[in-house]
Amino acid sequence: MPKIRVLDKQVAELIAAGEVVERPSAVIKELVENSVDAGATVITVEIRRGGVTYMRVTDNGCGIAPEDVPTAFLRHATSKVAGQEDLNAIGTLGFRGEALASISAVAHVELFTRAEGEAVGVRYACGGEEEPELTEAGCPGGTTLVVRDLFFNTPARMKFLKKDVTEGNSVAGILDKLAMSHPEISIRFIRDGKEQLHSPGDSKLSSAVYAVCGREFSSTLIPVDYRLGHVKVRGFISAPAGCRPNRSMQNFFINGRFIRSRTAMAALEEAYKGSIMAGKFPACVLHLEVACEAVDVNVHPAKLEVRFVNERPIFDAVYHAARSALNAGDRPKEMELKK
């Protein structure tokens, strides 16, 4: 009979980390979400070699008070949830208090931060064999995290990584979604020394979509601005002629968070029934706004799937929003014909 024992702390930590951090893009997602939660208006992300050797996220958010810095790296340490009742209505992207702990368990991490009202900032280095180190440092207001040598101590994980280009593309996908979910934030992405994305942060969704998807895609879009009951739907959908061979350009956001929702996808496609060919799929960038209590985000660590307390209002709102936009999209053409 094998003996049952409690795992030692370090092994347990590595296992827990593996659940949050499975590849570079997972690290970037957690870090940029922290920047958003910190109220940043400018976020710069730089990666090298798909992020495996080097990732840097810099923001101009609220920063972290020097005395809180070491705590931020402890598992289940968060400033976003105080008690059980907060779990019923989560308004931030993060809430588990696991990201920094997990990242520093599997990489070398360096943090620079200067909190609002502090004269100088601090540097904190952790995640290697050496003891963590907290020192004073001159730095601008906000926070920078540098993550090096991801999975240096977990070769099994390292083996499962795809080619650098694939990992880099996955990071790019995260940042595209971030730019479109937060048009009020300027997002800059530098990949192996080249700028890949620079959204202006002018609060216009159309500018963010343009920065991410380019002119050709943007030119096929019809605006959506709709409300049904408690659900608001706004953004853009593709004209039937701009439909695509797959669903990869269906972007749904709930309360500022990119999500996958079968319900929303089904509703969108239902609205195009009869106006697009089989095998073609509508594209969209749609923001749904619902009361926090109507969504359960405490579902999956990657938090891509959300559950709605009631799916029906979501379906109806997306369906009618798309229908009415498609009808309105047809109208100018009819008017032109009459002229």
Quote the CA–CA distance of 144 and 260 in Å, as a whole number.
29
Quote the CA–CA distance of 268 and 282 in Å, as a whole number.
7
247, 203 contact by CB (below 8 A) = no
- Which of 14, 53, 95, 134 lies at the binding interface for ligand ADP (CB under 6 A)? 95
Q: Is 58 in the site for ligand ADP (CB under 6 A)?
A: no
- Copy the structure tokens of residue 207: 């500018």
Contacts of 255 (CB under 8 A, 6+ apart): 91, 288, 289, 290, 292, 295
User: What is the CA 37 to chain-centroid distance, rounded?
Assistant: 11
Q: Select from 98-106, 252-260, 263-271, 299-307 the region that touches ligand ADP (CB under 6 A).
A: 98-106
Quote the CA–CA distance of 234 and 240 in Å, as a whole number.
18
Phi, psi for 39 (deg, rounded to 5): 80, 20
Hunting for tokens 């990657």 — which residue is that? 302
If the CB atoms of residues 45 and 99 are measured against ligand ADP, the closer one turns out to be: 99
Report the candidate in 141, 138, 74 with the shortest Cα–Cα distance to residue 114. Answer: 141
Return the SS3 of 78.
coil
- Which of 21, 27, 64, 224 lies at the binding interface for ligand ADP (CB under 6 A)? 64
Closest CB 68 distance from ligand ADP, rounded Å: 7
Q: Is 41 in the site for ligand ADP (CB under 6 A)?
A: no
Q: Is 96 in the site for ligand ADP (CB under 6 A)?
A: yes
Q: Is 59 in the site for ligand ADP (CB under 6 A)?
A: yes
Closest CB 317 distance from ligand ADP, rounded Å: 29
Q: Select from 59-67, 210-218, 286-294, 297-305 the region that touches ligand ADP (CB under 6 A).
A: 59-67
Residues 126-155 that bind ligand ADP (CB under 6 A): 143
Closest CB 205 distance from ligand ADP, rounded Å: 24
Q: Is 105 in the site for ligand ADP (CB under 6 A)?
A: no
Q: For binding to ligand ADP (CB under 6 A), which residues are involved?
A: 30, 34-35, 38, 59, 61-64, 72, 77-80, 94-101, 143
